[in-house]
Structure 1
Amino acid sequence: MNYSTLMILGIFAVSIFSISGIASAETSAKSTNFEKTTLVEFTNNDASEIQTVRMWLGKDSGEFKSFKSEKGWTGTKTPQGVLVFSTSDPLNSGESVKFGIKTEVEGPGINWKTVDATGNELAVGKVLPGQTSAPPPPPPQDNTVIPTPKMDGATFRVIPESPKTGDTVRIVGDGFPPKTVFKFTIDDQPLEDIQTDEKGHVSGTAKIPITKQADRVEFSLVDNQGNKKTISIRITQAEQVAAPQNTKKLTVDQGTSIAEPGEKISAKGTGKPGSSIKITAKDPTGVKLYEAVVPVDNQGNWSHETVVPLDAPLGTRQVEFSDGLDTITRSFSVSISKTINISSSATKYNPGDKFVFNGTAKPDQSLQVVINDPIGKEIFSDILELDSTGVISFEYQTAATSTKGTYAVIATQGSETEIVRVGLGELPSPQIIAKFDKLNYASSETAKITIEGPAKANISILIIDPGDKVKLTETVTLGLDGSKVHDLVLDGYKSGVYTAVIKHTKSEAQLVFSVGLQQSSGPILMQATKQEYLPGDSVLVLGSTNVNVLLSLEMLDPDGKVLKKKDIFSDKEGKFSEGTFRVPSDAKQGPWVIKAKSGSNSADAKFTVSGTITKTFSVKTDKTTAYRSGDYMTIIGTGGGKTQTVVIKILDSKNNEITDLTMSSTKEGSFQTLWPVPSGMEPGKYNIKATVGGETAETTFDLQ
């Protein structure tokens, strides 16, 4: 996360002055807060140098989740939850340093303390949200917040016993407090952080600076409260080798400080020409996560690039860059950033159950939700107006006759998309589901495709241009959660309509998007195919305008509330159609309208929603054109007996029964079922006969 972007909300500042017993010590603290992230800036206003800054939370403020420090500062989190930031280049008077902190709760009070190079406490205070100025609180009682560890019987030694300057020594010891972070120092100069194991055993390595003078020195292990164990050893001078004139000092320009699993990261810098740079990444406990050796070219430049593993643990790690003489440490975080988070109350539901979803998204903005059934047909859509909390909550009632399989919930807010799968009658299958962040792009833009599928699966992407030629083929790998937001660079794409085929083994998704289309400068004609609809009916609109232009459609209820929005485009003949609009099952009766707009031109398709159009029992199919073997036919009945058994028989032209289906009607007397047309049926006209109680309704369909 780029903390410079977080200074937009909740700005507050606190000045902390010297406490009793600390002469002339003064530190000012300025804190900027946004949601659960806080940027704290400390300024040294005293003559004493600040070498260490410690921060901790109150008992009701949760704990620190992650942190980030400026260049030259190293941060660690102790087992007691205290953040300890230290530097080998102390903060002089008038200088400032910033730390980024992420916490469990929003805007907590943050206690802090500054310490000089000799371990003397300089100032102590507490940052409180919304407080512009406050006197310093009393210093925390370290023996109650962080118990003083017992180190009376602790011992340690270094190997080799007679080291030289520039040597890497091994530190081993026993009898220390378990799972405690100690700073290993030479003459009070910090070298490495070492954590004891659960038995209090010490094991670690550190490098003696090549610039250290040969003399008797003190090696110490110091905890975060200043308690330490010290041994005195004489070190000898290493043989000096004259450095060539063209030697460059080690520098690091870390290009990436935060990344997601599967994302590419990079770093570059300078060093001695012809040498190599060792890069080592460690977790907060010192466990090595990654290591690479990078050559330095003849000009003294080096660069390195790698990909964060898909199964990389989330959190902050320290990355060391070493040329054998100097070591530079940087912080790097692995995190997943999502603005929409939705979860279902269950993974598997039974027919007749109610889908229940909850989550969060950006507050005070609208969120469009669409639910597709197992064959990809849209069965529900709504626009949720979120309040200042950003809380999401919506439901969908299934029927006893609802199709079993995997249902996809697609939530969109701006350019962000979240996809959730749930199963009806069975566990959800990892089928491919994909969505572009919008419909039309400029050739200078990058399209974002949200893809859901099997975890860590390799997914092929095929882009077909307006001339039905293959424009691009590439492969992407999904993350551990089965998701991926893929960037599609559109540089060089000509104006027109493109098709994206996203495939994995037997599952695939086809999407259309356009590049360079414009809004219409001519009139728009549009109408619905019927003038009257029932709740739950699909609404098909047909229209015409200029060729290859963008249109925005929205459906409004009798109160003027927008229930769904959809962007479409006209074809090369200027025609357009859209059949994904559906009258809600709880729709208000009265005049409804679908509005089309493109530029300054607009058109309305008006229709009426009635409780019932007729009380006569009727049955129909979802289309009037001929079916083929393998098609899915939706059979719909209305006007029959309420909450009764429905028997549907499929008959051929000779009145021979092909199959029969049984279900229950709703409390409104309607029913709906999905029937897969079997293979092997002969082409011709077939009859559908539905019976509810003593009433019978019939319709026909053609098979080709």
Structure 2
Amino acid sequence: MNNQVFTVLGIFVISIFSAATLANAETSVKSSAFEKTTLVEFTNNDSSPIQSVKMWLGKDGSTFQTFKSEKGWVGQKTSQGVLVFSTAEPLKIGQSVKFGLKTDIEKPSINWRTIDASGKEISSGKVTPNQISNIITKPNSQSSSSQSNNKQGTENTKSGGFDNAVFRIIPENPKGGDDIRVIGDGFPPSTYLDFLVNDSKVQDFKTDNTGHLVGRTKIPITLETGRIDLTLADNQGHKKTVSIRISESQPIVQTTKRLTINQVTGLAEPGQTISVNGTGRPDSSIKITVKDPLGIKMFETVVKADSRGSWSYQTTIPLDAPLGSRQVDISDGVETITKTISVSVSNTIKIFASSITYAPGEKLVFNGTAKSEKTVQVTINDPIGKEIFSEIITPDNSGSFNFEYQTTQSSPKGTYAVFATQGESNYVLRIGLGGLPTPQIIAKIDKLNYQSDDKVKLTIQGAPKSSASVLIIDPSDKVKTTETVTMGLDGANTREISLSGFKSGIYTIVAKQPQSQTKITFSVGLQTVSGTIKAQTTKNAYLPGEGILVLGSTDPNTILNLELTDPDGKISKRKDIFSDKTGKFSDGTFRVPTDAKQGNWILKVKSGVKFIDAGFTVSGTIEKTFTIKLDKTEAYHAGDHMSITGTGADKSNTIIIQILDPNNVKIQELQTRSTNEGSFDTLWTIPTDKQSGKYTIKAVSGQVNAEASFDIQ
């Protein structure tokens, strides 16, 4: 009895050993599934390490939803729905790897293929959950033909040198018109073979010096659905035939598209949002690379084309982006289109302050650039939004201009907003008095008086990407509208406000943020004066640089225009205002220019055909002393940046500045130019090799000079 048991067990063990030995000749693939989740395990029993694994579903319309791989393996899904897993450390003989897959159907059959490091196929097959994988053997052994897919049965005719030859096609079940790969082994080496479909030659191939064959061809589209014979034959009459069944051909839908892009802007500014779009291959990846003029990559992103091949991308140029040209390469991996974009500032007007912060009592000094020979309107608002300075300036032939504003010890501390306007171009600068400036909210409108069918162009500036509440208060002090706006990356938001339904009167726009708010008034439908205008200045005589306050009365809610003219009749400044609901008006934003001509000046107040002249005289001059000033009183150190400013110099004159060491030896000479107000500023970087001691600065302007000293520690 026991001998019989041992005999049976011996036969069973031998059977297992034989099966295992056979399995070791192929890749072992096992699959298990629960509902729509499938686990596939590959064990490498082949002679070559596995570098990558491909898996795809059948032609029943099912698709992979998600997938996971073990550590060290990276997976991706191609546009054709094929999963490709690869690794930097190939799967060695005897090792295994598992992949988790989720599909849109339960317990799917999965086609698979393993590939070595050279890209050569190792083996392929089809696995169904809880069943043994149907392996298509590598065509390098005699047993492979007997284990091949039963749909590709083979036969030899006049075999001769084809006794050990096998071949197969990929895909296994082609349709008429499909491209196929023909892979064979065991054929005579270096031999030309004809590829026949139902005994009609469609292609010829040549084997390599080992008898291996790889080729591509196409199944004729004219073939009817059914079984066909595929044959490889030499000129000696030796043949190897595979019989397959082809399915019905589907209408061919042309999906391939060339890479194209629509028009791309060639010029952009920091803070501007730009976009690009075009077409490419459906579901393909479009790579956008931006390079500087030296070819160094600055930015790269990838966008996905949709199922129709359309793609688009939008981005905002950073506010601190360097100016200059950019090379933009747009590629789909096959074609590359190159465009050039230039980043520059197109604003025609800019202003610069001699310092970002001032102390109360100091003079604010500004320089600017704009279009030449076209007037620039300059205004300054104090920290509560009140206009304290306004002037019309004509730039010189080079487009340069400058202006100054004298603060007092009682001037309110905080952030001052400086506005410059020339035509449609605007520029805003913030400076601090008694401290650094903060991103205070600022509001500007395009004009003062509107009609009910007009639109108000409102520009709000604050911190980039910040939000602000905007309210409009009507003439009866009730809230007319309210909304929340968001600043762009440049800190600005420009919008148009329709005045439909606004009755005649004076309105107030309030823009506010948690730490800041500003108000600005405008009028709708105001008429000109029909009665009389009364107006006068608070003084009969002024000195250059003094502010002017004008007071008056006229009809309620009427529009008025103020013009300041010099003794030669030249307009120095003009401004629109309006009277309140009681008919009163006032303005304190005018001032006598610092270089004002002595004589009789006129501040004209007019509305329609009505006007009145408020006259005054300008006499005397302001004594100016040529002085220079440094940006700090404490000692400097080697490598520090020193700001040198001066006032009282000759107007529009060259200033020569000499730096003398402790031995009174000149070590540096600088040159700058004074403004038409006689002020100047420049920077000097203290050399790193300068020794400690007291140094002297001498500045010369024409026949006058000034000195200042400083210490280096």
- TM-score computed with the length of structure 2 as normaliser: 0.45
Structure with bigger gyration radius? 2
- TM-score computed with the length of structure 1 as normaliser: 0.45
